[in-house]
Amino acid sequence: MFDRQLRFLFIIAFAIQLSTPAIKSQPLSFLADTVSYLWPTDSSTLLSSTFAETRSAHLHAGLDIRTWGREGYRVFATRDAVVYRIGMSPYGYGNVIFLKHDDDSYSVYAHLNRFEPGLQAIADSIRFIDYSAAIDVVIEHKNIRYKQGDLIAFTGSTGVGPPHLHFELRTPDFYPFNPLLTNLRVRDTIPPVFRQLAIEHLDPETLRLQGHQIINATRSGNRYNFGEVTVHGPVGLAVNVHDRANDTPNIYAVHTLTMVHQSDTLFKSRADYFPHTAARHMFLDRSYPILAESRRGFQRLYKITGNKLPFYHSVQNHGIIPFEIGRYPIRIIASDINGNHSIAEVTIHVRGNQKLSNREITYVPPYPAPPSVETASLFNWKYLAIDHGDPFLISSTNDNIAYYKNEAPYKYVPGSFIEKKISPGRKATLSTPDKRTWLTFPEDALHDTLQLRMNVIHTRDEIYINFEPDRLPIHRNIEFSIILPEYLRDNPRLALFSLDQFRNRRFFMNATNTDGMIRGSLREISSLVIAEDNTPPRVGNPRLSRNLAGNHIILVPARDPETGIDFARSGITVNGLRGLVEYDPEKNWLIYYNPLFRPSSTNRVEIVVYDGAGNKIAHSATIQ
């Protein structure tokens, strides 16, 4: 009993030690005790998101500060600085300011409604050179300086999501790091919460992922239990765990995760900073198959080969559990940056695993093996061979697939099935035998060697490009190209879509359709479809309004559910005066903006709106 209590006290002390925010090693050694940061807004001191949380395409690089669903709160320079870079866009960071401090570190303020008047005038002067509403420019040479506490902008909702301020700190090497490692603090006395445990089953020979099971937690205070799990081969564990703070309903990422067997630390991770170039490695830190299927971010308690995130401080056998036959009690400790912690327990009952029990694990592949040809499918499509004609492609669940319901027979592109082993460190091309469809891989595109299969299927008016395995993360974008068949090559309204088989949805991708070819850049390996969009956008009646700076603007409702609004190509004039065309994709508004615009008693508005496939609609209206 005394030994068990001693081990328990050791684990608690270890977890608290892990949560101590003092950092004195590179690359955060520039954080001297004399460096003090100011809270960057007067909206609140409450967070809606924290550092290193799961996002759709990357790790969250900062803090999201609540603004109560409102825009227009003041944003301040957190330290003395020069304006390094500004950007304005309806996507990503939205309207953003990068400040560079005297120690060459940076602070970032994003999703802004607008900049302070002087900086906004400079941004507008750049935009009106060619009437480009979206800009991303380095202006350090202009030597625009702010003192700590100076007003630099106002909070907004540009880029993504509801109103909030996204705030980052970056090292002199431009690495995002957790702002709560500085003197900045939020009130937090609440420990993390475990929700679920994923058991990821690995192949005994190759350690490639074979599948997973998810177990819900039972709770008693700050203790959680996942019961006993029987396994017959090596496994990796992953947890769905979140943190909370006082006075807010939001849930956050935890700061530290530790997995312990008795007094032996099997895995320890701590999210203090990461290179911005490794932000996509979230897909290795999290269980990508579960994330793609359910959008839930299960954090792995083992390290995949190729994962370059600097989170991992102690990892035995990459965190894989290759124990001999027996029962093994495992404790998982989750801590937030303030030292609050919770413990979850699970017993792993190993029924067979002898092949790995005496082997040191040095390699855990990030990619699964491709399925056998017999089980390959395009989502729920089945291949049927018949004796007297071409193969047919039919669906066993047509009524569940919103994007395709035509049951006419299909034919393969001759030689469309191809499989190739692709390795990182060298450029590679995967193409169909007829050389009409291909993927180009830069040398640093893949996390590891991948055996990839591609199948191209033509219908009467669409082309499906199926990959096996599907939904795979990559380190850098790969390029997709296809030479269109003769009966489609003169159709300028063909567009490229990514397919999500879990939600039966397609997502428009920015691609070019010129000279009988479609080319696009893929940020993941995901099955595709080329389909026609010949429906122009829908445009509503414009109305006169003012923005938060008091400028007169014109709001134009515009929507296109298939390929979206191409705001950069669209145009609006009012009383013959051309303006910038800004865009709010959340509200489906095109926004006419020109600081020189002064409305008359009646105003003639001329509107031309394009969608992503090039469909155009023109609309005129007179408003008062």
pLDDT at 545: 97
pLDDT at 411: 36
Q: How confident is the model at residue 303 (pLDDT cuts 50, 70, 90)?
A: very high
pLDDT at 357: 57
Predicted TM-score of the model (pTM) = 0.88
What is d(CA 475, CA 306) in angstroms, rounded to the nearest whole number? Answer: 9
CA atoms within 13 A on the CB side of 554: 32
414-450 pLDDT, tens digit each: 444 789 999 999 999 999 988 999 999 999 999 999 9
What is d(CA 569, CA 563) in angstroms, rounded to the nearest whole number? Answer: 14
The encoded tokens of residue 380 equal: 């729920």
Report whether pLDDT(526) > 70. yes
Q: How confident is the model at residue 578 (pLDDT cuts 50, 70, 90)?
A: very high
Residue 213 pairs with which residues in a beta bridge?
Answer: 199
Report whether pLDDT(314) > 60. yes
pLDDT at 155: 98
What is d(CA 558, CA 586) in angstroms, rounded to the nearest whole number? Answer: 11
Contacts with 15 (C-beta within 8 Å, 6 or more apart), sequence order: 256, 258, 333, 335, 341, 343
- Percent of the chain as helix, strand, coil, to the nearest 5: 10, 45, 45
pLDDT at 3: 44
Element containing residue 12 per DSSP (H, E): helix 2-18
539-560 pLDDT, tens digit each: 999 999 999 999 999 999 999 9
492-524 as b/e: b if 16+ CB within 10 A: eebbbbbbbbeeeebebbebebeeeebebebeb
Contacts with 484 (C-beta within 8 Å, 6 or more apart), sequence order: 463, 491, 494, 516, 517, 518, 530
Mean pLDDT of 33-45: 94
The encoded tokens of residue 340 equal: 């609050």
The encoded tokens of residue 52 equal: 């290193």
Report whether pLDDT(591) > 90. yes
Q: How confident is the model at residue 19 (pLDDT cuts 50, 70, 90)?
A: very low
Q: Which amino acid is at 91?
A: Y
Closest C-alpha among 337, 347, 176 to residue 257: 337
CB distance 458 to 485 below 8 Å: yes
192-208 pLDDT, tens digit each: 999 999 999 999 889 99
Mean pLDDT of 246-254: 92
Q: Hey, what domains does the chain have and what are their CATH numbers?
A: 47-181 (2.70.70.10), 193-357 (2.70.50), 373-532 (2.60.220.30), 538-623 (2.60.40.1220)
Report whether pLDDT(535) > 50. yes
253-292 as b/e: b if 16+ CB within 10 A: bbbbbbbbbeeebbbbbbbbbbbbebbbbbbbbbbbbbbb
146-185 pLDDT, tens digit each: 999 999 999 999 998 799 999 999 999 999 999 999 999 9
pLDDT at 89: 97
CB distance 33 to 355 below 8 Å: no
Mean pLDDT of 77-95: 97
Chain-centre distance for alpha carbon 248:
24
- Residue-by-residue DSSP string for 568-621: EEEEEEETTEE-EEEEETTTTEEEEE-TT----SSEEEEEEEEETT--EEEEEE
Least confident of 212-221, 378-387, 453-462, 485-494: 378-387
The encoded tokens of residue 355 equal: 């092949």
What is d(CA 453, CA 544) in angstroms, rounded to the nearest whole number? Answer: 54
Report whether pLDDT(7) > 90. no
Total Cβ atoms within 10 A of residue 413: 18
The encoded tokens of residue 125 equal: 């002067």
CB distance 330 to 261 below 8 Å: yes
Average pLDDT, the chain: 87
pLDDT at 504: 83
What is d(CA 206, CA 369) in angstroms, rounded to the nearest whole number? Answer: 9
Q: How many helices (H) and strands (E) does the chain have?
A: 5, 45
End-to-end CA distance of the chain: 82
